[in-house]
A and B are shown apart, each in its own frame.
Chain A
Amino acid sequence: MNLLRCVSILLALFFVSGCGKQTLVETPSAQIEAGWDAYRLGEYKRAIECFEAASRSGAGTDAEAHALYGLASTWNLRRPGNDPIKAAAIYEKIIASAKTPAAKDVAAWSSLALARMKHLVGVDEQPDYPAVREAYQACIDQFPGHPAADEAFIHQQSTYLAALAPQDAQVAAERLEKFVAERSDSPLLSAAWLLLAEARQILCQPEASLAARIRSLETLEEDETNPTDKALTYWKIATVAEFDAGDFATARKYYNLLISEYDNDIRLFASRAALKRMDELEATLIAERAERTEASR
């Protein structure tokens, strides 16, 4: 029996010998990098260890803000085991202690994260929209012109549009008009135009909606590594032009773009049918008018 025990222990030691603790990397930037790698892999415990180690080793430098941001994001977004109170406290600490431009950059994203925490509620809950909008506004006011503030603005307008009420859509439309006029350099310009198109749609202004939709496409950031499917965008513009604005010339242009650029899109058949339908309708209307003119003579 002793032999059996000895063999069992040896086997157990043999099998667990590969389970050694992984060593942590040394420099703050490498620790932050390792923290995000662990976060991506869903190894939140290790991510927290890395971010905590980075915040200690990088104390007093910009790396500390990045480390704390990683730590707060992990506590905020890890599932299971999220701790929103702890996350919010760390985000607020980042904002309060930001002195350098780099730390302020992290603070802007922390401010957006605080607003997103209010916006993203549990499955059976409803966001407190006034509080959510206020949180986004805090980010916009505190960090004007920062990409995080632009993103906060876009999210904020989406909360107005989600209500689908004309008065809310009017509020969003006015703000978005101002944004696209004043912030033509914003990387979120295309998103702003798209929301404006939705606002105009809710307000039953088809021609303005169509124009905004086209501007959104024109200001879209190009990413050659992303097979962005513009087929649906072309289709949406074409159908808004055909059925809401009655602008057949624009409709034809975008149906034709879909046909020429997407030779295997599901809407190809319908696009050709649409071109034929518009031709037929125009021919009918012209014939009717000719008949009427003839009759009136």
Chain B
Amino acid sequence: MRPSILTTPSQRHKQRKGAQALSFVRVYFALFVIGAAFFWSIYSIVTTRAEEAPPGTTTLRIGHWQLETGVRDGLSKLAAEYQKLHPNVRIVQDAIPISVYPTWLTTNLLGGTAPDMVEVPRYHMPDDIILSFHNRYFLPITPYITRPNPYNKGTNLEGVPLRKTFKDGMRNAYVKETQEYMSIPLSLFGARVFYNKDLLKKLTGLNEAPSDYRAFLKVCAQIETQKNEKGQRYAAIAGSRDHLWAWEAMMFDPLTYPAVRRVDFNRDGVVSSHELFVAIKTDRMSLTFPAFKARYQMMREVTNHFQVGYTGVPLGDAIFLFAQQRAVFLSTGTWDARSLQTQANGKFEIGIMDFPRPAPSDPEYGSLMEGPVYEEQEQGFPFAVTRNSKNAEIAVDFLLFLAAQKQNEELNSIMGWIPSIQGAKIDSFLKPFEPHLEGVYTALMLRLGGETRNKYQQVYSLYQSKQIDFDQLVKEFEPFYKTRGEADYLESQRDWRRGILINEQLLAAQRARAMLGTGDEQKLRWIKYRAFTTSRQVLPEVEHSQQLALIRNGPSLKSTGPYEYSAELLDRVRRRIFGAHKEAAAR
């Protein structure tokens, strides 16, 4: 600023001073703001941590992404109960939205600042990254799984090894690559159909939703003919692109089960994507196979009762439609049960039903639907203890507390989820979520990868939005699948080779532990090493060749399918039966 000739020297001095001060502020303002924010954050962190961890206490942090109603309350309640037993321990939750949880977790694990216990984001991050977390940042809990859970004292699980107290025997907690148990799962999950009981009664006069498929469709049609007081038409089913999976998995896909007997060439009981490809490529099978066709037909019949344009609707909108009482049915999982109950509280009563099933006498689906739908007991809400934890023993102890029969029942009752522990009672509201442990499952495995996957997604989207019919879907997809499938399969096999090398890396570490170990521990390490070597490195070599030969040459079976009796075999059976009869007669 240039000084004016009309100002006095003192004024000019003041102006100079002011200009200097302004200049100082301009230069250092950003630094000042950063510094202030820095010191404020230090103050906030120190005061918050002091509140959470008063002197003389041990504070454990538990990180998870479950923001659904009841979860934080449940953990807080159980933490308070744990604190009664261990007055010097405090448990603090870090509840992080799932959209940022993987990044948050990765950053904290890398920086050594992760909570003592973290929920393992198994389905939210690539498998290889989760495996590297297991290897690098999580502590194996294997030493605990053969010991009884001390918090089961006084229950029927007293003295039972921890592993056997879980409904699935902790199968999902076992990481084959590390040959260790790496987490403790606290809940079970499943999907069912939720419905608005009051609205159903009002629109159809029914107290309960029908479990028969045809009756269900009829009720849906009846609901859609009616309008609310604002003149808006009711939707039978609130659907979205994120809700379709449950209807597919629990209703449409199991119809394809009869194909297992024709396509499961390696006879492992399930159809793999490469087996289905071989079957279709060699014209042993087509998407027009009655069971496959029925699957697409049922999908069309059911989604006809979703609200218009559901394929473009996100998850939240469908839930909103249901909560606003503009739709009667909504399919979702246990994780949403308590939230839906809270939203409906005081407005309407929620019912839960199993997915409707065609009757054996159903003219179109009865013969194809061979049994109930098989559901895997999916254990979830798994927590691992991090290596950076200064109180790992206490962290494991707290998880054992949560996994004890009584405590697991209480926790899940508050969360509205299904307990993972044997004998822990399920909330009556969730009874319909009891899994079906025996039944049929899908044989429609079209995920070869690459271009065929993209093509399928394109045509399937068009089918969902009714832009093409089933015949067009087959016409568009099947020739492409037959032509491109082998290239996509071979590309996926490159990953198999990479996997073999990764296994070799893991085996070297396992072998070293066994070589350097002593006593019983060494013996156990060698057993694990050999089990891994056989199952991951030796047999896959042969199985991979068999798979490749199948892809290139087709099945060697000429007249019989994998689960059919050949004439030669029937002769063998006759010889055995009648030979046995002769022997019996002779005796």
Contacts and interface: CB of A to CB of B under 8 A. Distances in A.
Nearest to A160: B542
Contact of A264 (B168, B562, B563): B168
Nearest to B439: A269
A73 B512 contact: yes
Contact of A158 (B439, B501, B538): B538
B531 to A, nearest CB: 6
Contact of A155 (B179, B530, B538): B538
A236 B569 contact: no
Given A123-B497, A285-B573, A164 B530 contact: no
B538 A195 contact: yes
Interface in B177-207: 179, 181
B3 to A, nearest CB: 24
Contacts of A239: 267, 563
A43 to B, nearest CB: 9
Given A224-B146, A228-B531, A42 B132 contact: yes
Interface of A: 1, 3-4, 7, 29, 32-33, 36, 39-42, 66, 69-70, 73, 76-77, 79, 105-106, 109, 116, 120, 122-124, 147, 151, 154-155, 158-159, 161-164, 187-188, 190-191, 194-195, 198, 221-229, 232, 235-236, 239-240, 243-249, 263-264, 266-270, 272-273, 281-282, 285-286, 289
Nearest to A159: B541
B269 A232 contact: yes
B40 interface: no
Contacts of A66: 515-516
Given A266-B374, A281-B565, 6 more contacts: A7-B31, A36-B509, A123-B497, A187-B530, A221-B527, A235-B268
Given A232-B268, A235-B269, A221 B545 contact: no
8 contacts: A29-B516, A163-B545, A194-B539, A222-B527, A223-B524, A246-B573, A285-B573, A286-B577
A58 to B, nearest CB: 13
A158 B267 contact: no
A264 B145 contact: no
B494 A266 contact: no
Nearest to B179: A226
Nearest to B260: A270
Contacts of A236: 267-268
A42 B509 CA distance: 11
A243 B563 contact: yes
Contacts of A123: 494, 497-498
A41 B145 contact: no
A36 B578 contact: no
A269 B573 contact: no
Interface string B425-445: 000000000010111110000
Nearest to B569: A246
B177 to A, nearest CB: 12
B267 A36 contact: no
Across the A-B interface, the 8 shortest Cβ-Cβ residue pairs: A246-B572, A267-B269, A162-B545, A191-B534, A264-B437, A246-B573, A268-B438, A158-B541
Interface string B400-425: 00000000000000000000000000
| Residue of B179, B504, B533, B570 ringed by the most chain A CB atoms within 10 A | B504
A247 B576 contact: yes
Interface in B121-135: 132, 135
Contacts of A151: 530, 533
B269 A270 contact: yes
B267 A226 contact: no
A21 B106 CA distance: 23
Given A40-B135, A188-B530, A269-B439, A227 B542 contact: no
Contact of B528 (A159, A226, A244, A266): A226
B163 interface: yes
B267 A264 contact: no
Nearest to B572: A246
A281 B576 CA distance: 13
A267 B509 CA distance: 35
Nearest to B495: A123
B453 interface: no
B526 A187 contact: yes
B409 to A, nearest CB: 20
A120 B507 CA distance: 13
A7 to B, nearest CB: 6
Contacts of B169: 227
Contact of B541 (A79, A162, A225, A245): A162
B44 to A, nearest CB: 19
Contacts of A188: 530, 534
